[in-house]
Structure 1
Amino acid sequence: MRLFSLRSVILCSIVFCGIQWSSFAQQQPEFLEYTNSKWVDSVMQQLSPNERVAQLIMVAAYSNRDSQHKNEILKLVKEQKIGGLIFFQGTAKKQVELMNDYQLVSDVPLLGAIDAEWGLGMRLDNTISFPYQMALGAIEDDTLLYKMGEEVARQVKRTGLHMNFAPVVDVNNNPNNPVINYRSFGENKIKVAEKGIAYMKGMQDQKILTTAKHFPGHGDTDTDSHKALPQINHPFTRLDTLEMYPFKKLIDAGVGGVMVAHLNIPALDSSGVPSTLSKKIISGILKEKLGFKGLIVTDAMNMKGVTTGNQPGVVDKKAIIAGNDLLEFTEDVPKAIAEVRKAINQGIISQAAIDEKCRKVLAVKQWVGLNNYEPLKTANIDKELNNSHAKYLQQKLVEKSLTVLKNDEEMIPLRRLDTLKIASISIGAEKQTEFQKSLGWYTKIDHFQIKNKATASQISALKKKLKNYNVVIAGLHDHSRFPRNVIRYSDQVLKFIAEITQDEHTIFSVFKNPYSLNKINKIEEASVLIEAYQDSELTQQKAAQLIFGGFKADGKLPVSVGKKFKAGDGLETSEKIRFSYTRPEDAGMNADFLQNGIDSLMHQAINAKAIPGGVVLVAKDEKIVFQKAYGLHKYSDTIKVKASDLYDLASVTKVSSALPALMKLHDEGKFSLEDGIDDYLPYFKNSNKAGIPFQQIFAHQARFKPWIAYWQNTLRKNGSYKWNTFKKDSSARFPIKISDNMWLHRNYKKKIYKAIKKSPLEDKAEYKYSGLAFYLLPQIVENISGEDYRTYLNENFYSKLGATTLGYKPTEDFPVTRIVPTENDFAFRHEPIHGSVHDEGAIMMGGVSANAGLFSNANDLAKLMQMYLNMGKYGGERYIEEQTFKEWTKTQFPDNNNRRAIAFDKPNLEYQGLDNNTAKDASTKSFGHTGFTGTMVWMDPAENLLFVFLSNRVLPSRENRRLYTLNTRTQMQQVLYDAIKN
């Protein structure tokens, strides 16, 4: 899929290859070339003098109002012949429908505009909001703002409009500014200009007219011009060199429009009139001094900053006389037209001046393509607006905006998770936040919330609990629609924040306006301080990922915060060390192809009753780009599968338990593939297994029998159990739980060992899959390491990885509701299996074996597999030497037609079509394993690609083999490769 047109890519490369915008001579707005075009001439000839005035008027339209409002707009279009509409609240689909209707009755196509400073989400429901401009001001890479401009333009056009009243290029140098503030790129005039130009160019290169606003600069005021007329008392030199600087640069760069603010600026016009009505400011400065020839637009003409003391219609006339070309939000259209006609008749303004303005408006209409207007379709509009590329861009902008202001001793990204006991606190929240949920993907964390107005007793109780933790991660939340410079915390909560900043290992992520940092005592003394700029689910997710090293931070503070921080402050974190949770585009994969392909195959499998449900996880380049749960726990159930649910991994245990332990022990010189079982278990000396090297055993070429039905050896001929095998109740002699009514003798493991020892060997040394040796591996690991097997795995792998659900006997740590059931066993256990291992041999080993027994959710299993894919490294720590991994994941006996590596499976040596064990495009370097319950993990170093598939295909019975006949897993695996290629 081509994300950008060739023209856009070329423009992007030209614009952003180190060239400074100021190096260009002034570029004239492109639309001006049409002011005397044949189309404009023809329209002008058809327009009456009144209609030419009407072309300068834009009224407010809403797509969330009733038919009365629609009829009012239709009447203005048909009778008054207005030139355009500015749309406000509503939905995209309704907006398109209305615009089609309005265009249908208009003699001259209507110019449609919208305030979409941060995207359509500023006005329309269920559309994308990109970060506010204050957050964008923190981004170092302005090419991202250019791309945002492209995407916003595409979305504005898709909703039937042609003009965006953006970007805001006010220099916000007043923290108390109530109306600009977070809508500004910051306090540095140069950066404001550069970012404004990047955003503007992105939109205008896609034929959306932009308006730089709010001229001559609304950044240094503490009054909202919606409510009153702000006054700015700076001298001309200051205004000329600071406030107006970005406007000059955007004019030089070819901005199409400039919006004039409602401001009283004595240094520019001592009369006291709002700048919108000031001929000195508009005609004298903007047009003559700055040479702007583009479209001059008023700020909304219903705002108190301009309406106070001025009647509707009369105020519009004054704005036209002052030099504006387009009136936004005219409240009384007939009177506005009449007042302008009166001014013409009185000689205050000439008909020629009106005609010049009208031609500008018409030229804009031709430039945006309205001379060839066609109605828009509404089909699929929501899907098209919320497309994957836009979401990826939104995510990238958030990532690049996050600003690390403190990182004492490089505390983040957090390392050595096994040494950390972490608590998270969401301050200003009443329930678990997205921030906390996202933190939980990395390791075990205990979550707490504290309200804005928490009581002293609530705070005291929380402080006692926090004494049990050595790391505290605090999120400061607002949850208001806009990140204003407001603190809603009580004095007691503010005192609590100040106290915990003094703790040595406290991390703060502030999901609030950066100016608010100046209102929080001692916040600058926290060990780690992250400014996230706004409180959205996406910023919360990304802040959590940053803390754990999912990506590197490089944002820079766009404004100064009192004496605490300066504009430009911002630390880079050291490196990416763990998964990021991102979108497929971030790893060069086609999101739609991936989503549709996996969805289709999963729905096929579920509908065919091959599986009741499952979880699919895909990671590429150490980025989880897809993680989704499907279906139900069981066919007759109503419990939906969640991505966090635990599955019985079955034979995936073979590569997830003893194997990494033995690799580590191999690196330490304590284990060798050349040794045999008898070298580590003397019991096997003098057996037919003695001397057979582990290289052959793990490659399934040791002539071992595939399996032994241990449970059947417990039966008498009459079907009852032998006396020293099972009892109905537990006791000291029968402590091993098989089911509620089956308890195994404590020494039965010896019988399993004996059965393995005495089992005959196959006649020929060739590939034959066998799980026998894997029953012995836990004891071998214990004998070599001198540690308990489960403890060894947890301490050396699972806990360090943060894989907190990966382990044996899941009901010891998790409720059974989080565990997906497997088979309804009516042969051995005589009950549905839920919460214990499915494999009969493994349950008879107490649930702890290396052939089966592990449970995990997809996310935690992926951490171990990613460590494998990284050749032994994850989270900034090396677990196993790279050379060991390369050797153990290599095909061992290809000359014997054996594809297997050391325990890992490999692709067939020759592709076998639909019966192949992997996707056709899986490389020869790839490796993985499948499990009897319907699980699969596969890693491909050639593409740095990881695939995890969890299901319970054995429910209700292992005889259900539809997952195999459908070939779901390998077909799905191929989808990943296709998503890379497309």
Structure 2
Amino acid sequence: MRTRSVALLAVAALGGAVTAALPAAAASPVDRVLAGMTLPQKVGQLFTTYVYGSDANTPSPENRRLYGVDTPAEVVARYQLGGVIYFAWTNSLQNPRQIAALSNGLQAAAPGVPLSISTDQEHGVVTRMPAPATQFPGGMALGAGRNPADAYRTGQVTGAELRAAGITQAWAPDADVNVNPANPVIGVRSFSSDPSLAAALTASQVLGFETGANVSAAAKHFPGHGDTATDSHTGLPVITHSRAEWQRVDAPPFRAAIAAGVDAIMSAHIVVPALDPSGDPATLSKPIITGLLRGELGYRGVIVTDSLEMAAVRQKYGDERVPVLALKAGVDQLLMPPDLPLAQRSVLDAVASGELTEARIDESVRRILTLKQKRGLLTPWQPVDATGIGSAGHLRVAQAVTDRTVTAIRNDAGLLPLGPGKSVLVTGWNSSATGNVAALAGALGGDALVTDQPDDVLAAARTHDVTVMLTNLDTAGRQKALVAALLTTGKPILVVAVRNPYDLTQLPGVRTYLATYSYTGVSMRSLAKVLLGITPPRGKLPVAIPGLYPYGHGLTWSTP
């Protein structure tokens, strides 16, 4: 297999044979590479998908089943991929050094043009690169902090660590405006229900990734996924906003991202009848992608689909038609087709039949190559070694940012801050056996009880001065009943929503209530400082809690 430098020299040589016929102003690096590509190579650049394996050259039966070859390197080479996306479930993300070695191996296998290697590192509930990489609390927590500089720092630190592992494209930030508390797929991934705040933080995080760390950002999910009660992974959401509502509510974060120079915008698999009455999802809608995003908003960067494996984009058309229809709509980059060989053949066949032209393919490849050039990917790949990931400086930034996000919503019992010498029990929803309950208990110097057995929790609560109950009612289970039972003990009960702040609407009788928007360890440390009176709560609700508290509500108190 050719090395990266040899492959690039070959492409440059091919381009050099035709550049003499081009105007001098057109002979850019992008033009030279594009001129030397065959049609199959161009079509390969349109696709980003996952490969199975923790290193580039170890066989996996999943690669054989899906792609007809054994190793990640062989998948990249055979399909001449433009990009690869990493997930824990594909064994791509285990630890920083493994990720860096995988990136180096895949780049060595890429024929001609380096890969855009990507992952969904939004933080909070969508975190792909594990600790010791620096962890932040996610979008809605940053909305509670109200600080664009913190959004920038989050993007900058995250981008630097991604780049150190060889990841050059982040599928973040989430630019959706979460105006529907019942939204099952966005929720705390959104910065806010307020379009202005969401726009300011979206733009700042884009700049953090791109200017601060030289990593491509992607604002998602256009034209706006914030007002739905349907998960597009499993169904087809319909957004009923009028065009005027879309302009007022959904558009501002995308306009701000475009003004900030965002490298990519990800489409949503949603139907918005006011923007396109055809019933096609936005990903396949020319009025939305070309008319609205390209035309009205003036966006000139890369447009990428959300995952083409999702049910919402597959309901109306077959898998062989979706890639072609997305390109006809104006999309450039095709993410995770369920059948990559079929998808590539479909695009090639569409060019052969005249349904798509090679000039149309060139438009998208040129945008993708321009993005790669901007991020230094049209030069020979320089191996990475994960240096700096999870550094002490990065961890300090994450803790400082998170300390500004904890929101005290109700303190009617005057329980907070907790006085000295109290015995504290921490229980409730737990992200893992050693997760947030244990992390908070350790930070408080209290006892952790990881169980959903009400009798055990009530018995332990009666022997402690105060019980901290962590809730995530998205997972339902026994949490509501357990809170109600704890309230009958006569002992002080403190409830903390560690995901959606809306939990309080289902918990009558709770008199002390906080929200962290995140169950990460860094959030639990910030929460402990607030509970103990070490730092005051600084967060303000970035969304309203329906019928109870308005946007912007948040208590605070003085600390020593």
TM over 0.5: yes
Choose the corresponding residue for 1:397, options 376, 398, 401: 401
Choose the corresponding residue for 2:101, options 79, 97, 100: 97
SS at match of 2:144: coil
Q: Counterpart of 1:322? A: 329
Q: Counterpart of 1:238? A: 245
Question: How far apart, in 1, do the equivalents of 2:502 and 2:160 lie?
Answer: 33
Q: Counterpart of 1:427? A: 427
Choose the corresponding residue for 2:123, options 106, 118, 121: 118
Q: Counterpart of 2:139? A: 133
Report the residue type matching 1:181 in the other structure.
G
Q: Counterpart of 1:534? A: 518
Q: Counterpart of 1:84? A: 83
Q: Counterpart of 1:47? A: 37
Shift of residue 424 of structure 1? 1.7
Shift of residue 539 of structure 1? 2.5
Shift of residue 249 of structure 1? 2.0
Question: How far apart, in 1, do the equivalents of 2:520 and 2:167 lie?
Answer: 27
Report the residue type matching 1:454 in the other structure.
P
C-alpha change, 1:518 and 1:346, in structure 2 (3 Å) is: same
Report the residue type matching 1:122 in the other structure.
T
Q: Counterpart of 1:152? A: 158
> How many aligned positions are there?
514
Q: Contact 2:54–2:102 (CA<8 Å) still a contact in 1?
A: no
Q: Counterpart of 1:744? A: none
SS at match of 1:312: coil
Question: How far apart, in 2, do the equivalents of 1:85 and 1:400 lie?
Answer: 35
Q: Higher relative contact order by CA 8 Å / sep ≥ 6: 1 or 2?
A: 2
Choose the corresponding residue for 1:477, options 470, 479, 484: 470
SS at match of 1:370: coil
Shift of residue 425 of structure 1? 2.6
Question: How far apart, in 2, do the equivalents of 1:120 and 1:173 lie?
Answer: 18
Shift of residue 486 of structure 1? 3.5
Q: Counterpart of 2:188? A: 182
Residue 488 of structure 1 pairs with residue 487 of structure 2? no
For residues 300-352 of structure 1, the C-alpha deviation after alignment (integer angstroms, 9 at most, x for no partner) is 11111112343333211111111001111133334333322333344433322
Shift of residue 291 of structure 1? 0.9
For residues 894-927 of structure 1, the C-alpha deviation after alignment (integer angstroms, 9 at most, x for no partner) is xxxxxxxxxxxxxxxxxxxxxxxxxxxxxxxxxx
Q: Contact 1:405–1:530 (CA<8 Å) still a contact in 2?
A: yes
Mapping of 1:776-855 within 5 angstroms?
A: none
Comparing 186-195 with 48-57, greater Cα deviation is found at: 48-57
Mapping of 1:662-677 within 5 angstroms?
A: none
C-alpha change, 1:307 and 1:508, in structure 2 (3 Å) is: closer
Report the residue type matching 1:568 in the other structure.
G
Residue 257 of structure 1 pairs with residue 264 of structure 2? yes
Q: Contact 1:435–1:475 (CA<8 Å) still a contact in 2?
A: no
C-alpha change, 1:304 and 1:484, in structure 2 (3 Å) is: farther
Shift of residue 146 of structure 1? 0.5
Q: Contact 2:469–2:494 (CA<8 Å) still a contact in 1?
A: no
Shift of residue 224 of structure 1? 1.2
Q: Counterpart of 1:67? A: 59
C-alpha change, 1:493 and 1:79, in structure 2 (3 Å) is: closer
Q: Counterpart of 2:505? A: 518
For residues 361-386 of structure 1, the C-alpha deviation after alignment (integer angstroms, 9 at most, x for no partner) is 111111111122334243xx3x6211
Residue 310 of structure 1 pairs with residue 317 of structure 2? yes
Mapping of 1:524-923 within 5 angstroms?
A: 525-526=511-512, 529-575=513-559, 577=560
Shift of residue 158 of structure 1? 1.0
Report the residue type matching 1:546 in the other structure.
V
Question: How far apart, in 1, do the equivalents of 2:449 and 2:201 lie?
Answer: 37
Question: How far apart, in 2, do the equivalents of 1:75 and 1:328 lie?
Answer: 19
SS at match of 1:67: coil
Shift of residue 458 of structure 1? 6.2
Q: Contact 2:228–2:238 (CA<8 Å) still a contact in 1?
A: yes
Residue 349 of structure 1 pairs with residue 366 of structure 2? no
SS at match of 1:485: helix
Q: Which structure is larger by alpha-carbon Rg, 1 or 2?
A: 1
Shift of residue 427 of structure 1? 2.9
For residues 678-733 of structure 1, the C-alpha deviation after alignment (integer angstroms, 9 at most, x for no partner) is xxxxxxxxxxxxxxxxxxxxxxxxxxxxxxxxxxxxxxxxxxxxxxxxxxxxxxxx
Question: How far apart, in 1, do the equivalents of 2:103 and 2:448 lie?
Answer: 48
C-alpha change, 1:423 and 1:146, in structure 2 (3 Å) is: same
Report the residue type matching 1:164 in the other structure.
A
Q: Counterpart of 2:373? A: 366
Report the residue type matching 2:177 in the other structure.
V
Q: Contact 1:120–1:129 (CA<8 Å) still a contact in 2?
A: no
TM-score by length of 1: 0.49
Report the residue type matching 1:280 in the other structure.
P
Question: How far apart, in 2, do the equivalents of 1:158 and 1:119 lie?
Answer: 21
For residues 416-448 of structure 1, the C-alpha deviation after alignment (integer angstroms, 9 at most, x for no partner) is x4xxx62323232799833233223xxxx7x47
C-alpha change, 1:450 and 1:98, in structure 2 (3 Å) is: closer
SS at match of 1:258: strand
Report the residue type matching 1:148 in the other structure.
T
Question: How far apart, in 2, do the equivalents of 1:187 and 1:499 lie?
Answer: 35
Q: Counterpart of 2:339? A: 332
Question: How far apart, in 2, do the equivalents of 1:512 and 1:499 lie?
Answer: 25
Residue 195 of structure 1 pairs with residue 222 of structure 2? no
Q: Counterpart of 1:56? A: 46
C-alpha change, 1:86 and 1:434, in structure 2 (3 Å) is: closer
For residues 475-532 of structure 1, the C-alpha deviation after alignment (integer angstroms, 9 at most, x for no partner) is 2225xxxx563433356423234446x87x6544443421212111122x33xx3222
Question: How far apart, in 1, do the equivalents of 2:85 and 2:27 lie?
Answer: 26
Question: How far apart, in 1, do the equivalents of 2:53 and 2:207 lie?
Answer: 29
Shift of residue 94 of structure 1? 2.8
Q: Contact 1:423–1:448 (CA<8 Å) still a contact in 2?
A: no
Q: Contact 2:124–2:138 (CA<8 Å) still a contact in 1?
A: no
Superposed CA RMSD in Å reads 2.8
C-alpha change, 1:39 and 1:71, in structure 2 (3 Å) is: farther
For residues 871-902 of structure 1, the C-alpha deviation after alignment (integer angstroms, 9 at most, x for no partner) is xxxxxxxxxxxxxxxxxxxxxxxxxxxxxxxx
Comparing 332-341 with 295-304, greater Cα deviation is found at: 332-341
Question: How far apart, in 1, do the equivalents of 2:38 and 2:166 lie?
Answer: 27
SS at match of 1:117: coil
SS at match of 2:226: coil
Question: How far apart, in 1, do the equivalents of 2:503 and 2:125 lie?
Answer: 27
C-alpha change, 1:56 and 1:450, in structure 2 (3 Å) is: closer
SS at match of 1:112: strand
Shift of residue 285 of structure 1? 0.8
Comparing 428-437 with 154-163, greater Cα deviation is found at: 428-437
For residues 259-292 of structure 1, the C-alpha deviation after alignment (integer angstroms, 9 at most, x for no partner) is 0010122222221111111111101111111111
In structure 1, runs of 5+ residues without a counterpart are 1-34, 578-982
SS at match of 2:265: strand
Q: Counterpart of 1:387? A: 391
C-alpha change, 1:373 and 1:463, in structure 2 (3 Å) is: closer
Q: Contact 2:439–2:525 (CA<8 Å) still a contact in 1?
A: yes
Question: How far apart, in 1, do the equivalents of 2:534 and 2:26 lie?
Answer: 55
C-alpha change, 1:99 and 1:568, in structure 2 (3 Å) is: same
In structure 2, runs of 5+ residues without a counterpart are 1-24, 64-68
Question: How far apart, in 1, do the equivalents of 2:426 and 2:210 lie?
Answer: 41
Shift of residue 465 of structure 1? 4.0
SS at match of 1:385: coil
C-alpha change, 1:303 and 1:484, in structure 2 (3 Å) is: farther
Question: How far apart, in 2, do the equivalents of 1:169 and 1:336 lie?
Answer: 28
